[in-house]
Amino acid sequence: MRVVTREGVVEFIRSHGGRLYVCADLMRCTGPKCTFFSSSLEPPAEHHAFRRFAGGGFDFYFSDEGLEAPTELRLELGGWRKRRISVYEGFSWVMADEPPEEPNGDR
């Protein structure tokens, strides 16, 4: 699994113990199935079968709960008052590091 981080994420995880726990949760309703991800810097109270991935300066623990693991996850630092890590599947959320081009091509 490839993990892509935005600016500040790795430093935030390191400053809070160096571990990130992510759980996948399949939501079903009348429409298409959707997978949501919850994240925590502490192990969750309820039991999960985590797989450990090391690298990038922190330990990443992922529990897919029997679902097909994503090819790529993206991590972003969110929240203004209480900082948190937001997790997105690589293909369902588009991020742009550069501002959009102006209509006349100037930036």
Could you read off the pLDDT of 85-101 as tens digits, one per residue? Answer: 888 775 543 333 444 45
Cα separation, 53 vs 69, whole angstroms: 13
Kindly write down the DSSP assignment for every residue of 82-100, as one continuous string.
S-EEEEEETTT----SSPP
CB atoms within 10 A of CB 64: 20
Residue 8: strand, helix, or coil = coil
pLDDT, residue 89, reads 79
Residue from 11, 16, 23, 89 nearest 57 by CA: 11
The string of pLDDT tens digits covering residues 44-102 is 888 888 889 888 889 999 988 777 778 888 899 888 788 888 887 755 433 334 444 55
What count of Cα atoms within 13 Å lies in the side-chain half-sphere of residue 31?
3
In the structure encoding, which two tokens stand for residue 54, read together? 């090391």
The string of pLDDT tens digits covering residues 3-23 is 888 889 999 999 999 999 998
Cα separation, 20 vs 42, whole angstroms: 7
Task: Tally helices (H) and strands (E) across the chain.
Answer: 1, 7
Its pTM surpasses 0.85: no
